[in-house]
Structures are given as structure tokens and as C-alpha cells.
């Protein structure tokens, strides 16, 4: 029988076994990243052509140590594997393992085997065997583990072809469990078997011990008749784990040889330096320093290029297209809007690249180890370091990354303070204001003043996050057991392909996600800025003629005067004017007010908004956004709008204020309450206002 | 006084004896932290906490002192000759 349906292949494995590399090797760039319905766990699907014209959907499941789920990510794995009706239910499971960690990785394998799904054991990183003095007896292992084994190296790319051939033969692979785990309590399991004769025993056991939804079985029914105390269940789970390890130890004793005299140990040497009580911290801060300096320095050229390209595109459109409302919308609304999105690409891509390298190399776990004790003083966990660092890219994935923090209080505090870290949406705001108010000079020949200011702002973000964590830790009264177990993976040289794919995927998601909002807001802004109510807007020409009849203006002067008269009395101008009294003590005029209003949807809109506003209202002598901003003068004082005092005040306001609707939404989702996002919004924004006010009043 | 993982010195190896099932997370058991298995203390973080262990000859994990105190062990005497 030939079926035209694509077969479903699920990739399952512990974290840090190179599962994603295997996925990338199998699917290349044929990937789709989405979310599981209703939850924010990332769902990675790919497509792969196999021999004999077989086509396969490859599903990369979240990394898990076992089928005893302790997080939402791990729950996804169990729910899929327990539900035969799921359209992604695997025809074949690939359990990916690391040859150096085979013993531990096999625990999950034996559990998957108990579900009676055809399972292939993929032993990855086989290129390291010689280096580590490992030899494997594959036929012996295949016989006792009742499976087929693919020995591969996703890093070096060997064994992939053979793996593909093996997947095609999935129907011939044994579905028999490799050990009888129910022997840990025969009486209990026998009754269970008799009560539900049509169900897989291991599935029943998982339903009893886990919080999973299992379609055709009522969990409460099973639970009530087979109830055991929490301790008893856990004791049984311990017995089960021991049983599985005994089996694994026995099999590996005969099937795997390790020649310790050959094994080279690079890990412990590196660990000694990277977790050293002095050098560990020095290296960590050096790495952060290099990252922030390079984000600023390296992205300067591509950013200037994008900025000026869009500026000239805008001018070109205005000149070449027939004059009219539509042309104005394109040249003053849409093109600056798109430019305002694309200008992010260099900095975001660099940031994602660095974070991806830190995670891939295994260094991030050392940072967790190094920082745990310190972070705990502030009510955080060592694991909070990862969200706080990846929060420099975007608070949304960062808040999702808190899921592996076992303690609820530590997790909640991490979620609440993560939005203080400087996310990439703040970067363009910082970049443009720093470029305007901080001189581009070097100290000691190497330290760029602008780069230093940026670094200072990042430190300020971290500092504020830590400080508010400390306060929250004192205020919040939540008790919970503190568990902290973190794997210290082997060091690996990050793979260019993995880092590259990650950077492309993340940047794409960001640009399209945020891009839609920015573009929409730019267009709305343009309308609001191009139209206005009443006489003052509609008769702008006449009013300007009236006002200036004593001293006639040149043609351009007259046009500029009309344009700014119009902008001031447009809808958006009136909105800006309305809030001006509240923000002028901070050093902002009504135009900045407009940008702040629109920033409440998302911060990155700031630059785009100013770009749109100045395109509509300003003279056309200045082409780039930066030059336009630099040329803005306060009509009453005659001073520059973006001077040192107002610049610093703006930087501080953006550093602290909660201006991201998506972050509020994710906080609500992860904490399951509106109380926490509301607190973030009120506290952060209120604090930002006060700090910006004080800074401006002192500096002006 | 009980000998626990917390009593180990850096580089020392021990055999896991017993622990209270309710105070040790299941995840740690899955990493191989089970009675009879070997544990080696590889590194102690600055400020003395957490501890970086090699459990069951292959699982490299870090745990906090409060958990380490719960796991009783018997230290393997290293032969001085």
C-alpha cells in the first residue's frame, strides 16, 4: 500500500544533545516556527524528503529530561505522545542522545519505548567517541534496547543519510518495551491493568502521576480508584527511575566501553577558569562589555545606510510620483514607517547572534552557576540571569524563558523585573538620542563615549531590575519549596548554521510582529498629522499671510511656516498640545509628546513617529531623521529641543517606563492575573516620570 | 553528624546512601542521583553555593547547598599510595 500522506517524525531528547542541529540537518531551511494553540511554547515544524519518495513532517519537540513533566514545555511532549488522535501524533519517534551522556539520555528512551511507538535511537556527537575513548557494540545495544540505532554527528554532518534511510523503514521497528517497569509494584499495576484492559499501562501511570489532559480517559476516575499519597507516588516514581537505571547500567556494561586513559578532559580545565571566583566574573563582564560595544559599533554603518536609503527613497517618491494625497501618504507615511522598522535589523541580528552563541556554547549555564548565590540575595535565581540577558533582545521570549525556574516566587519576581532590562526596542531610541546629545569622541583612544553611554544605560536597566527584585522579595509573601537543578552541558563550538538559522528566525519574527504595528501606527499618524479640525488648520495659509504681512517671507520660509501651522493644529498636534503641560517639566515639547503617546503601543514606534511628524511638518533641507531632529528648535527659548538635559531625561524615561503592550499581555498569560501587569504599568511608568523630571530639572 | 554531599571537598568522590524522598526533586533523581550511584564534587561556586557535581559518572549538574545537605553519602577514601 502506498500512502500519499506525509509521515510524522517526532524529535525527542534531553536538552543539550544537539537535537536542534539534527532538526536543522534534516530540514535545512524548510522550517516553520509557530506556537502550540493557547500556550506560548514554541512549535518547530520542518519538512524532509526521504528515500523511496517518502515525505516526512519533522516535529522538533521541546527538550525534556523525562516524561515526568515539570514545566509547560515538557507537558507539550507528553500530551502529544499520549494522544493518538492528534494529527501530529508520530508514526516514528527519534530519541536523540549524546554519546557522552548516553546513560542519562537513555532514561527518556526507555520511557518512550513504553509508549509502544516505533522508536529509533539516534546517538549524536559520534565524532567525539575517539576523543573520549568510547566504543559501542551497536548490534548488542540494538538487540537489548529493542530498537534501531543511527550513529550520527549532526555537527560534522555524517550519518544523516543513513538516518533518513532508517526512518523510511519505521514499520519494521519493534514497538516492544525494553524493560518491564511495572515490576516495581506488581500488585498495584496488575489491578490497574485489570481495571483498564484496553489502555497502555504506562499511559495510565503517566495520567496518574502527571497533570496532563488525556482525551478518552477521565483522569479523576482513574485517580480516585488508584489514589496514593503524594509521597507514595513519588516513592514509586523513584523506584521506577532506579529500575530503569539498573536496566540501562546492565545494558551499557556490555554494550559500551570507555577507555579512561584515552579520554581527554577539556571541560574541567575550562570550568576552572570560567567559574573561578575572580576570573569567572571578570570574563563574564568582559563578554558583556564586548557585546554592547560591538552592537553599537558594528551596526552603525548598516544603520546609517538604511536610514539614508529610505530618506532618499522618500524624496524620490515625492518627486517622481504625481502630486496628491496618495503620494504624500507614501512618501511621508509608508516609506518612513518601513524605514523605521528595517533600521532595527542590524542591532537585533547582532544581539540575537551573541545570545545564541552564549547558549549554544554551554557558557550560559556557567553564568547561572556563578550568579546563583548573588541573585538569591535579591530574591532571584541563578536561572534568572538567562531571562535578564535575553531580555536585552526582547522581554517576551525572556519572560517565557523563566519557565525553568522551579520556585514560583523567584519566577514571579523575574517576570516582573525583566522588562527593566534594555530590550532591542529601546535600542533605536537610545541610539538616536545618544547620537544627538553625546559627543562622538574617544576616551583613552579606545573607549567610544557613545558606546560607553549605551553600556551605562544597559547597566542601569540591570541595576533597576535587581533593585526592584530586592524590594519585591521583601514585600511579596509567597512561600514555596526552592528547587534548583541545572545541567552543566559540555562546551561546544557554536555551529554557524544553528546560530544563523536562529538569528534569521528571531529577526524575522520580530520584524514582522513589530513591523505590522509600526507600519499601521505610522499610517494612522500620518492621517492624524495631515488633517485637523477647524479654521486654524484649514485656513493655515491665510493665517500665516495675516501674521507675517509686516515682514514678507521668502517662498520656502512661507511654506515652512504654513506646514508647522498645520501640524500644530492637526489632530495629532492637538493631542500633543493637550499633554504638553504634563511633559514640559521633563523638557519635552508636544511633538515628543506625540511620540510618547504612540510609544505606549510599543517603544520602537518613537523614532518612526518622529520621522513621520518631521516629514510632514519640517523643511525638506534635512534628509535623515537624525538631522531633522538635530535641527529642531524650541520657538520660545530658541534652544535646541534635543539638548543634553532633555536628551538625558528622555533616555531615563525610556529606560524605566513600561511602554510595551505585548509584554503586558505575556505577563498576564504567564502569571494568570491582571494584577501583575497592572502593577508593572503603574509602577514602572510612574517611576520613569519622576526620574526623568528630576534629571531634567537638575541638568537644565 | 551526617555526611552529606555538602561535606565533600572539591575533587572528592562518594557513594550516595540515602535521602528523604520528599526533600529531593524528582528531576535530580532522573539525573542519576540515586542510592548506590557515585557522586563527585567538581566545583564550588564563589561564595560556597551552588555545588557543581558529576553524578553517576556522566550527569553534570549544579544544585544548591540546601539540597546537597539532604543527600547522605559515604566518602570514597582515596588511596594515598
Taking an 8 Å cut-off on Cβ atoms, the answer to whether B31 and A369 are in contact is: no
What cell was used for B8? 565533600
Helix (H) or strand (E) run with residue A369 in it: helix A363-376
Q: What is the pLDDT of residues A142-188, one digit of tens each?
A: 999 999 999 999 888 899 999 999 999 999 998 888 888 888 888 88
What pLDDT score does A657 carry? 93
Of the listed ranges A143-157, A418-432, A559-573, the least confidently predicted one is: A559-573
> Residue A603's pLDDT band (boundaries 50, 70, 90)?
confident
d(CA A80, CA A57): 15
Q: Can you say how many angstroms the Cα of residue A697 is from the centroid of all Cα atoms in its chain?
A: 37
B49 contact residues in A (CB cutoff 8 A): 372-373
Picking from B19, B30, B59 by the largest number of A CB atoms within 10 A of its own CB, the best residue to mutate is: B30
- Residue from the list A280, A382, A485 with its beta carbon closest to the beta carbon of B25: A485
Residue A443 backbone phi and psi in degrees, to 5: -105, 140
Taking an 8 Å cut-off on Cβ atoms, the answer to whether A275 and B52 are in contact is: yes
Q: Which of B31, B62, B45 is nearest to A488 (CA)?
A: B62
Collapsing DSSP to helix, strand or coil, B40 comes out as strand
- Residue from the list B26, B45, B48 with its beta carbon closest to the beta carbon of A369: B45
Of the listed ranges A9-13, A259-263, A582-586, A681-685, the least confidently predicted one is: A259-263
Sequence-separated (6 or more) residues with CB below 8 Å from residue A500: none
d(CA A625, CA A461): 26
Taking an 8 Å cut-off on Cβ atoms, the answer to whether B43 and A373 are in contact is: no
- With a cut of 60, say whether residue A420 has pLDDT above it: yes
- Answer for the pair A337, A417: CB distance below 8 angstroms, yes or no: no
Q: Which of A362, A366, A357 is nearest to A490 (CA)?
A: A362
Give the helix ranges, DSSP H, for chain B: 26-30, 65-68
d(CA A436, CA A643): 8
A487 contact residues in B (CB cutoff 8 A): 31, 59-61
Taking an 8 Å cut-off on Cβ atoms, the answer to whether B45 and A103 are in contact is: no
> Residue A44's pLDDT band (boundaries 50, 70, 90)?
confident
Using CA atoms of A528, A531, A534, A537 in order, give the dihedral in degrees to the nearest 10.
110
> Residue A132's pLDDT band (boundaries 50, 70, 90)?
confident
- With a cut of 80, say whether residue A340 has pLDDT above it: no
Of the listed ranges A123-127, A502-506, A545-549, A595-599, the least confidently predicted one is: A545-549
Q: Which residue has the higher pLDDT, A670 or A647?
A: A647
ipTM > 0.85? Answer: yes
Of the listed ranges A154-168, A278-292, A434-448, A666-680, the least confidently predicted one is: A434-448
Picking from B60, B65, B67 by the largest number of A CB atoms within 10 A of its own CB, the best residue to mutate is: B60
d(CA A568, CA A588): 15
What Å distances lie between residue A268 and A260, A382, A489, B31, B58, CA to CA?
15, 21, 12, 19, 13
What pLDDT score does A37 carry? 62
> Residue A419's pLDDT band (boundaries 50, 70, 90)?
very high
Taking an 8 Å cut-off on Cβ atoms, the answer to whether B43 and A104 are in contact is: no
- Could you write out the three-class secondary structure of A181-232? HHHHCHHHHHHHHHHCCCCCHHHHHHHHHCCCCCCCCCHHHHHHHCCCCHHH
Residue A635, number of CB atoms within 10 A of its CB: 8
Which single residue is written with the C-alpha cell 533593585?
A467
Q: Which of A523, A531, A506 is nearest to A338 (CA)?
A: A523
Q: Which residue has the higher pLDDT, A482 or A590?
A: A590
CA distance A4 to chain B (A): 40
Taking an 8 Å cut-off on Cβ atoms, the answer to whether A245 and B28 are in contact is: no
What pLDDT score does A697 carry? 93
How would you label B19-55 residue by residue, b for 16+ Cβ within 10 Å and e otherwise?
A: bebeebbbbbbbbbbbeebebbbbbbbbeebbbbbbb
CA torsion sign, A257 to A261 to A263 to A265? positive
Taking an 8 Å cut-off on Cβ atoms, the answer to whether B32 and A104 are in contact is: yes
Tell me the pLDDT of chain A averaged across its residues.
Answer: 84
- With a cut of 60, say whether residue A630 has pLDDT above it: yes
Of the listed ranges A57-66, A170-179, A607-616, B22-31, the least confidently predicted one is: A607-616
- With a cut of 60, say whether residue A115 has pLDDT above it: yes
Q: Is B20 on the interface with A (CB under 8 A)?
A: no
Distance, first Cα to last Cα, chain A: 81
What pLDDT score does A1 carry? 43
What cell was used for A184? 516495581
> Residue B56's pLDDT band (boundaries 50, 70, 90)?
confident
Residue A482, number of CB atoms within 10 A of its CB: 16
A71 contact residues in B (CB cutoff 8 A): none
Q: Which residue has the higher pLDDT, A206 or A676?
A: A676
d(CA A652, CA A422): 11
Upper half-sphere CA count for residue A477 (Cβ side, 13 Å): 0
What cell was used for A77? 511532549
Share in percent of chain B as helix, strand, coil (round to 5): 20, 35, 45
What cell was used for A667? 505577563
CA distance A370 to chain B (A): 6
d(CA B47, CA B45): 6
Sequence-separated (6 or more) residues with CB below 8 Å from residue B62: A365, A368, A369, A372, A382, A484, A485, A486, A488, B45, B50, B51, B52, B53
Residue A271, number of CB atoms within 10 A of its CB: 20
Q: What is the pLDDT of residues A658-686, one digit of tens each?
A: 988 778 888 887 888 889 999 999 999 99
Which single residue is written with the C-alpha cell 510582529?
A513
- Residue from the list A104, A242, A271 with its beta carbon closest to the beta carbon of B31: A104
> Residue B61's pLDDT band (boundaries 50, 70, 90)?
very high
- With a cut of 90, say whether residue A347 has pLDDT above it: no
CATH numbers and ranges of domains, chain B: 5-75 (2.30.30.90)
Task: Work out whether strand A92-98 and strand A7-13 pair parallel, antiparallel, or are unpaired.
Answer: parallel
- With a cut of 70, say whether residue A40 has pLDDT above it: no
What cell was used for A142? 540494538
What pLDDT score does A447 carry? 74
Burial of A459 (0-12, 13-18, 19+ CB in 10 A): middle
- With a cut of 80, say whether residue A294 has pLDDT above it: no
Picking from A362, A488, A492 by the largest number of B CB atoms within 10 A of its own CB, the best residue to mutate is: A488
What pLDDT score does A526 carry? 79
User: Which residues 26-55 of B have a C-beta within 8 angstroms of A?
Assistant: 26-32, 34-35, 37, 42-43, 45-50, 52
CA distance B5 to chain A (A): 14
Q: Is A445 left (phi over 0), alpha (psi -120 to 50) or beta?
A: left
**Average pLDDT of B39-48?**
92
Q: Quick one: closest CA in B to A243, which residue?
A: B34
Angle between helix axes A363-376 and A279-320 (nearest 10 degrees) is 110
What pLDDT score does A18 carry? 87
Sequence-separated (6 or more) residues with CB below 8 Å from residue A549: none
What pLDDT score does A119 carry? 94
Write out the residues of chain A at the interface with chain B, using a CB-CB cutoff of 8 A.
Answer: 65-66, 68, 70, 100-104, 107, 231, 234-235, 237-238, 241-242, 245, 267-268, 271-272, 275-277, 280-281, 365, 368-370, 372-374, 382, 406, 482-490
What pLDDT score does A248 carry? 93
What pLDDT score does A223 carry? 62
CA torsion sign, A683 to A684 to A689 to A691? positive
The CA angle B1-B2-B3, to the nearest 5 degrees, is: 120
> Residue A264's pLDDT band (boundaries 50, 70, 90)?
low
Q: What is the pLDDT of residues A499-527, one digit of tens each?
A: 898 888 878 876 776 677 767 777 887 78
d(CA A481, CA A242): 24
- With a cut of 80, say whether residue A404 has pLDDT above it: no
- With a cut of 70, say whether residue A4 has pLDDT above it: no
Using CA atoms of A670, A673, A676, A677 in order, give the dihedral in degrees to the nearest 10.
80
**Average pLDDT of B18-31?**
85
B47 contact residues in A (CB cutoff 8 A): 373-374
Q: Is B62 on the interface with A (CB under 8 A)?
A: yes
- Answer for the pair A107, A66: CB distance below 8 angstroms, yes or no: yes
What pLDDT score does A150 carry? 93
Own/partner contacts of A247-252, CB < 8 Å, gap of 24 or more, are A247/A110, A247/A178, A247/A179, A248/A103, A248/A106, A248/A107, A248/A110, A249/A103, A251/A106, A251/A141, A251/A144, A251/A145, A252/A102, A252/A103, A252/A106
What pLDDT score does A95 carry? 96
- Residue from the list B30, B59, B63 with its beta carbon closest to the beta carbon of A484: B63
Q: Quick one: closest CA in B to A273, which residue?
A: B43
What pLDDT score does A196 carry? 81
CA distance A279 to chain B (A): 11
A241 contact residues in B (CB cutoff 8 A): 26, 29-30, 34
The CA angle A292-A298-A299, to the nearest 5 degrees, is: 95
Amino acid at each position: 500500500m502506498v500512502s500519499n500522506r506525509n509521515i510524522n517524525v517526532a524529535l525527542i531528547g534531553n536538552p543539550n544533545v544537539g537535537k536542534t542541529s539534527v532538526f536543522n540537518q534534516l530540514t535545512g531551511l524548510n522550517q516553520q516556527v509557530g506556537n502550540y494553540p493557547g500556550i506560548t511554547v514554541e512549535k518547530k515544524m520542518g519538512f524532509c524528503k526521504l528515500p523511496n519518495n517518502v515525505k516526512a513532517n519533522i516535529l522538533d519537540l521541546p527538550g525534556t529530561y523525562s516524561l515526568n513533566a515539570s514545566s509547560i514545555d515538557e507537558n507539550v511532549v507528553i500530551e502529544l505522545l499520549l494522544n493518538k488522535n492528534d494529527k501530529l501524533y508520530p508514526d516514528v519517534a527519534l530519541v536523540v542522545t549524546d554519546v557522552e551522556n548516553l546513560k542519562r539520555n537513555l532514561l527518556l528512551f526507555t520511557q518512550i519505548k513504553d509508549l509502544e511507538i516505533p522508536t529509533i535511537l539516534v546517538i549524536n556527537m559520534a565524532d567525539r567517541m575517539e576523543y573520549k575513548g568510547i566504543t559501542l557494540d551497536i548490534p548488542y545495544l540494538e538487540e537489548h534496547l529493542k530498537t534501531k540505532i543511527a550513529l550520527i554527528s549532526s555537527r560534522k554532518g555524517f550519518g544523516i543519510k543513513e538516518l533518513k534511510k532508517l526512518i523510511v523503514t519505521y514499520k519494521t521497528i519493534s514497538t516492544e518495551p525494553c524493560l518491564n517497569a511495572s515490576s516495581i509494584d506488581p500488585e498495584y499495576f496488575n489491578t490497574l491493568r485489570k481495571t483498564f484492559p484496553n489502555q497502555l499501562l504506562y499511559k495510565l501511570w503517566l495520567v496518574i502521576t502527571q497533570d496532563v489532559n488525556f482525551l478518552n480517559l477521565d483522569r479523576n476516575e482513574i485517580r480516585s480508584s488508584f489514589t496514593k499519597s503524594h509521597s507514595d507516588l513519588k516513592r514509586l516514581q523513584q523506584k521506577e527511575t532506579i529500575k530503569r537505571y539498573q536496566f540501562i547500567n546492565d545494558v551499557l556494561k556490555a554494550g559500551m566501553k570507555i577507555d579512561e586513559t584515552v579520554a581527554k578532559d577539556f571541560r574541567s580545565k575550562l570550568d576552572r577558569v570560567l567559574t573561578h571566583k575572580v576570573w569567572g566574573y571578570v570574563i563574564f563582564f568582559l563578554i558583556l562589555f564586548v557585546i554592547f560595544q560591538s552592537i553599537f559599533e558594528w551596526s552603525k554603518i548598516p544603520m546609517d545606510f538604511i536610514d539614508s536609503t529610505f530618506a532618499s527613497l522618500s524624496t524620490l517618491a515625492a518627486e517622481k510620483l504625481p502630486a496628491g494625497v496618495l503620494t504624500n501618504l507614501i512618501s511621508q507615511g509608508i516609506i518612513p514607517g518601513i524605514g523605521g522598522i528595517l533600521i532595527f535589523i542590524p542591532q537585533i541580528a547582532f544581539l540575537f547572534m551573541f545570545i545564541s552563541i552564549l547558549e549554544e556554547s554551554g557558557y550560559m549555564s556557567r553564568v547561572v552557576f556563578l550568579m546563583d548565590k548573588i541573585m538569591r540575595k535579591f530574591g532571584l535565581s541563578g536561572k534568572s540571569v538567562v531571562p535578564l540577558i535575553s531580555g536585552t533582545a526582547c522581554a517576551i521570549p525572556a519572560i517565557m524563558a523563566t519557565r525553568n525556574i522551579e520556585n514560583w516566587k523567584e519566577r514571579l519576581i523575574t517576570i516582573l523585573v525583566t522588562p527593566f532590562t534594555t530590550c532591542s526596542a529601546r535600542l533605536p531610541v537610545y541610539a538616536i538620542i545618544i547620537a544627538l546629545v553625546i559627543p562622538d569622541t574617544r576616551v583613552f583612544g579606545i573607549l567610544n563615549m557613545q558606546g560607553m553611554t549605551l553600556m551605562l544605560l544597559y547597566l542601569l536597566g540591570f541595576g533597576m531590575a535587581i533593585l526592584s527584585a530586592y524590594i519585591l522579595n521583601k514585600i511579596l509573601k509567597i512561600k514555596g519549596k526552592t528547587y534548583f537543578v541545572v545541567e552543566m552541558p559540555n562546551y561546544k563550538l557554536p555551529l554557524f548554521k544553528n546560530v544563523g538559522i536562529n538569528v534569521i528566525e528571531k529577526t524575522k519574527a520580530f520584524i514582522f510582529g513589530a513591523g505590522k504595528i509600526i507600519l499601521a501606527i505610522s499610517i494612522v499618524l500620518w492621517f492624524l498629522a495631515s488633517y485637523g479640525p477647524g479654521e486654524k488648520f484649514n485656513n493655515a495659509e491665510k493665517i500665516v499671510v495675516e501674521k507675517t504681512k509686516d515682514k514678507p517671507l521668502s517662498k520656502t520660509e512661507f511654506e515652512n511656516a504654513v506646514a508647522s501651522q498645520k501640524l500644530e493644529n492637526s489632530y495629532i498636534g492637538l493631542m500633543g498640545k493637550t499633554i504638553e503641560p504634563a511633559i514640559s517639566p521633563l523638557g519635552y515639547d508636544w511633538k515628543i509628546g506625540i511620540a510618547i503617546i504612540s510609544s505606549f503601543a510599543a517603544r520602537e514606534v518613537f523614532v518612526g513617529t518622529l520621522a513621520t511628524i518631521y516629514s510632514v511638518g519640517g523643511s525638506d533641507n534635512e534628509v535623515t531623521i537624525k538631522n531633522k531632529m538635530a535641527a529642531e528648535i524650541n520657538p520660545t527659548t530658541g534652544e535646541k529641543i534635543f539638548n543634553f538635559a532633555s536628551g538625558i531625561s528622555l533616555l531615563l524615561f525610556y529606560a524605566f517606563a513600561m511602554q510595551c503592550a505585548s509584554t503586558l499581555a505575556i505577563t498576564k498569560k504567564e502569571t494568570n492575573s491582571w494584577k501583575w501587569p497592572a502593577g508593572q504599568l503603574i509602577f514602572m511608568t510612574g517611576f520613569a516620570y519622576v526620574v526623568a523630571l528630576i534629571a531634567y530639572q537638575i541638568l537644565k | 553528624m551526617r555526611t552529606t554531599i555538602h561535606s565533600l571537598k572539591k575533587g572528592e568522590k562518594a557513594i550516595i546512601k540515602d535521602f528523604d524522598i520528599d526533600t529531593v526533586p524528582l528531576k535530580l533523581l532522573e539525573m542519576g542521583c540515586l542510592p548506590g550511584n557515585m557522586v563527585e564534587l567538581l566545583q564550588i561556586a564563589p561564595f560556597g553555593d551552588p555545588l557543581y557535581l558529576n553524578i553517576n559518572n556522566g550527569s553534570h549538574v549544579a544544585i544548591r547547598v540546601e539540597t546537597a545537605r539532604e543527600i547522605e553519602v559515604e566518602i570514597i577514601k582515596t588511596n594515598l599510595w
